[in-house]
Structure 1
Amino acid sequence: MVNEKKLRISCNFFVLKPVVLSACAAILSFYFFCAVENYFNKFLISFIFILSFIIGFIFRKKKSCFIFAGLFIGSLAVLRLFFLSAEPFSLAELSKVESIRAELTGEAYPAGEKYYAASARLISFSYKNGAKFSARGNIKIFFPSELVLQNNAYGISSYKAGSRKEALTNFSKGVIFETAGRFGAKKNGLSPLAFFGDKSVPEFLGWRSAVLKLRAFLRFYLMRLLSGWGSAGALLLALLSANRDFLILPVSEAFKNAGLAHVLALSGMHVSLVSLTALQMGSIFGKKSLAIKFSLVSIILFVWFAGAAPSLNRALGMMILIILGKSLGLQPPMISILCTMLIFHIAVKPDEALSLGFMLSYGALAGILIFGSAVYDILNGKIPPKILGSFSASIGAQTFTAPIVISKIGVLAPIGIIASIVVSPLISAFLILGLAAIFISILFPFTGFIFSYLLNGFYDFIFFIIQIFALFPLMTADTFFDSLAFALLPFTAGIISMFYSDRKLKKRENLLK
């Protein structure tokens, strides 16, 4: 949940901080190089990388150096992406490979109806004749969806382990396995090589570490616990771990059509709720500093458990920057913190910058800080503050991310502006109640059926409201001109609101002179 009042920008909208200039240059150059990567090879980007560093160093005392610094970061991120997505290093011929040994470096997630996908780090290749070759590199591995779902829910049934010594039953980060299949064609230089597993069950070989084994066990235990709580458990599992395996399609479609798809994605809202709950628990010990430390540890544990989604990484990184700033006696504006985190994020995890979650997470918060603040200033005094904060944040996020949504999804749900104001507080309350229910149910298992009844009643109420919002018409872009109009009109409206708010600010300043 966003605290809109604390996120408001109190300074002139058109006075750009140096870090904002660098962030804009970094993200624009990054996406530009990614878009034209067929025409730019890594050697040319390396030249731009070195040149931007040299020019930035020469003009380091001028404002333009921050633009070259951003160009330096953007080209560095693209170069890292080239190397992360490079073809595997091995003496084996990929066309002859029958099976691979690898380690999952991320959680398996739905990739269409037939497959679940996950990032993996290669260990070795095997031929049909038994020859083995060591291998090094990153791939995207695809498992049959039925295989993953049956393991998650009830264990292996129709898929048999066959001659495997021990079948893989947990597709979590850190697991080491061997599976048969084939390599697919590489899409482009910025996408990892794809491997499609066959319908035989992979062989479990171990875990990378005891910590990752513990994490996988906890996620599996939570899944088993919540699967018995019906629809409410499915929603709670999606909110806590981004696992939508038990969430039926009509529910996901209702959230999407109501403009509330972001609610199901792990985001800063979840981090804020965990932080708030931890602060309240930490305040029991008396000292505020101790409560803040307890809150930070709780958030780190939550992100570790839920999985490093781009939005969670962004929220965690920003909170660490805020705490570091306060410890140094600094209070930088939120837009500067966001831009600092953006620069760091694309430099460290450039592969995440290509995901829709990354774009929407940073875009939504930027919209709240820029467009939302302008709307707040314009409507201040005309709408009750409690409603205005949520309304301005919602409209700011929706208008700023409209170009991203229409280009990636092709559909806009304008009703989401109102739906977010109504449903987000209910989801927050549902999540807090769910966290309490899980904690108490673990301590006292006999209370599980009571919480299941309460949570399902709450869930039915929330879903009824969502279904009402889902009845409103969607804006579908059928042609290129539709896409252009739906992308530019909301964004242009946000820019106009910035100009109008800036004009009001200048009038107030003139009256005070």
Structure 2
Amino acid sequence: MVICKTAKNPLVCAAVVCAAAVYFGIPMKNRKQFGAAVPFSSVVFMKGRIVSNPVKLSKTQKYAASFEPEFVKTADGIASTCSGVLTVILDGRMTEAYFPGKLYSSSRGSGALICETGAPAALSGRAGSDGVFFADKGYSLEFPDTPGGKIAHARALSRLQFRRLMYAWGAAGGLLLALLSGIREYTEGQAADAFRNAGLSHILALSGMHLSIFSGLAVSAGSSVCGKKTAYVFQACAVLFFVWFAGFSPSLFRALLCSIGMMMLSFCGIKNVSMMTVLCASFLCHTVIAPVDCTSAAFMLSYGALAGILVFGELINGKLSHILPGRVSSGISASAAAQTLTAPVSLKLFGTFMPGGILASTVVSPLVTLFIYAGLFCIVLCLVFPIFVVPAGAVMNGIYAVIKMLVTAFARIPGIAIR
């Protein structure tokens, strides 16, 4: 019944046609391709701003980020203005110069860089292939004295200060840092591998689960302070603040579009609109706003997981509810339904599939939610009373130990691999 109704929905049909066109024929054009009066291969210096959060490349001391250059120079001294967005590979020493637990002195020779979205910077190095620039030296420039520049500066300093607080909490702080801001540099390597091998990588990726926690807290706070009629204002502010602070990833942008759609429907008094309709509308908007995201694994897995839950979740839950208790069956059915569409994508992209993630997600997700709630409470407590940093860290590490133990146990379940 649910599948039949879904198939007749015009927005669903439009989304299916769009997805078929994207993944089976129409090439995605890069709207922000680099353009300058000099060939990119000759560029050795550029000035501009970083337009994405840096991501550490696995098993290296390098970081990757998107960079929007405004000025470039060649080895012959020829300068040119330019446009577009490039991928830059940054030396870890200059990227980590201001990070807690790192030595600023190690950045000598490479420069120190405030590497956050919106941060202006000057980079020198060499141009690679496919629009990639390898920067071995760089330095930060002053943030523009504009409202946008001041906001970007405040965000960069806030994320740096948040790193310092989480660093004081050790391993628990590293996990909470990844869950709340997408910064994974301080997550224990053993724990990160266990999450991946247990089929729980989606928990570490910023998505709707994290956004819904902030949204729910904002609704509760808004309802108690100003009443239910104005609670949506607190909800909208909390959602926008979280996305602004954490940064735009494909999965988080999907969650933002869905949240905006649901809030607009609620504000207009429109009821009985299926979540599948909202998801398909978000998919269509996402492909128009950021078509380059369509080819990313995070985009496909995020939309595939939620679509699987909405299409097959009720059907699977109907079968399991006769065997298992209500909460257990709903959790397992949601995990299994999500895997129906994400498993083929995982096998295609990574060559592996972790069936143990179905049960692992049911057990670990509630504990991670508790961990986030406890972390938010401890953060507020420590900001008001810094003396509680040590005991709060002990509490967080206790919860973290339980999560790590369970994830490590589920990571022992063998996966399915194709060659």
Q: Secondary structure at the match of 1:454?
A: helix
Normalization by structure 1: what TM-score?
A: 0.77
**Residue 188 of structure 2 aligns with which residue?**
248
* 2:372 matches 1:372: no
Match of 1:180 in 2: 124
Contact 1:168 1:177 in 2 (8 A): no
CA change 1:209–1:431 in 2 (3 A) is same
Counterpart selection for 1:268 from 208, 220, 227: 208
State the distance in 1 between where 2:226 and 2:121 align.
Answer: 48
Query: Which residue number corresponds to residue 229 of structure 1?
Result: 169
Please point out which of 251, 274, 297 is paired with 1:311. 251
In the other structure, the counterpart of 1:16 is 8
Aligned to 1:97: 43
Q: How many Å separate the matches in 2 of 1:291 and 1:203?
A: 40
Amino acid at match of 1:194: V
Gaps of 5+ in 1: 1-8, 38-77, 187-192, 479-513
Aligned positions of 1:452-463 closer than 5 A? 452-463=393-404
| Cα-to-partner distance string for 1:439-468 (whole Å, 9 max, x where unaligned) | 110111001101001100111111111111
TM-score by length of 2: 0.94
Q: Deviations over 1:367-397 (max 9, x none)?
A: 1001212112233343222112111110000
SS of alignment partner, residue 124 of structure 2: strand
Provide the residue aligned with 2:86 in structure 1.
Answer: 139
Structure-2 separation of matches of 1:18 and 1:128: 55
Alignment partner, residue 293 of structure 1 = 233
How many residues get paired?
A: 413
Say which SS state the counterpart of residue 414 (structure 1) adopts.
coil
Q: Which residue of 1 aligns with 2:304?
A: 363
Contact kept? 1:13, 1:370, Cα under 8 Å? no
Q: Deviations over 1:242-300 (max 9, x none)?
A: 11101122111100111111111001000111111122222221511222221221111
Cα RMSD after superposing both structures = 1.8
What pairs up with 1:152-231 in 2 under 5 angstroms? 152-153=99-100, 154=102, 156-160=104-108, 167-186=111-130, 193-198=131-136, 200-207=137-144, 209-231=149-171
Secondary structure, aligned partner of 1:335: helix
Retained in 2: the 8 A contact 1:412–1:475?
yes
Matched-pair contact (CA < 8 Å) for 1:168–1:204 = no
* Partner residue in 2 for 1:347: 288
Alpha-carbon shift at residue 222 of structure 1 (Å): 0.2
- The 8 Å contact of residues 236 and 431 in structure 1, kept in 2 or not, is answered as yes
- C-alpha separation between the residues in 2 aligned to 1:172 and 1:211? 12
Q: Match for residue 392 of structure 1?
A: 333
Q: Is it true that 1:302 corresponds to 2:239 in the alignment?
A: no
Identity of aligned residues (%): 31
Aligned equivalents of 1:211 and 1:18: distance in 2?
40
Residue in 2 that maps onto 1:60: none
The aligned amino acid for 1:104 is: I
Unaligned stretches of 5+ residues in structure 2: none
1:279 corresponds to which of 209, 215, 219: 219
2:52 aligns with: 106
Structure-1 separation of matches of 2:18 and 2:103: 46
What residue in structure 2 maps to residue 46 of structure 1? none
Secondary structure at 2:70's aligned position in 1?
A: strand
* Alpha-carbon distance in structure 1 between the residues aligned to 2:413 and 2:373: 29
- Amino acid aligned to 1:121: E
Matched, 1:25 2:17: yes
Paired with 1:205 and 1:127, the residues of 2 have a C-alpha distance of 23
Within 5 Å, which residues of 2 pair with 1:417-428?
417-428=358-369
| Preserved contact between residue 266 and residue 312 of structure 1 (Cα < 8 Å) | yes
**Cα distance in 2, alignment partners of residues 266 and 402 from structure 1:** 19
- Counterpart contact for 1:160–1:201, Cα < 8 Å: no
Residues 124 and 396 of structure 1: is their aligned pair in 2 closer, same or farther, counting only changes over 3 Å? same
Shift of 1:127: 2.7
Please report how far the alpha carbon of residue 202 of structure 1 lies from its aligned counterpart in structure 2 after TM superposition: 3.0
How far does residue 150 in structure 1 lie from its aligned partner after superposition?
A: 4.2
User: Alignment partner for residue 321 of structure 1, among 261, 264, 280?
Assistant: 261
Q: Name 1:116's counterpart in structure 2.
A: 63
Match of 1:69 in 2: none
- 1:405 pairs with 2:341: no
> Is the aligned partner of 1:476 residue 2:417?
yes
| Residue aligning to 1:63 | none
| Alpha-carbon distance between aligned partners in 2 of 1:94 and 1:12, rounded to the nearest angstrom | 52
SS at match of 1:351: helix
Deviation of residue 314 (structure 1)? 1.3
Q: Is the 1:271–1:299 contact (alpha carbons within 8 Å) kept by the matching residues of 2?
A: yes
1:98-118 CA-partner distances (Å, limit 9, x unpaired): 211121111111234332111
Following the alignment from structure 2 to structure 1, what is the Cα–Cα distance between the partners of residues 229 and 2? Answer: 27
After superposition, what is the alpha-carbon deviation per residue over 1:342-366, rounded to whole angstroms, capped at 9, x for unaligned? 0000110112222111111100000
AA partner of residue 52 (structure 2): G
On the 8 A contact 2:114/2:140 being kept in 1, the answer is no
C-alpha contact (below 8 Å) 2:122/2:141 kept by paired residues? yes
Contact 2:174–2:184 under 8 Å retained in 1:
yes
Aligned to 2:199: 259
1:97 deviates by 2.0
Distance 2:247 2:192 in 1: 20
Return the letter of the residue paired with 1:259: G
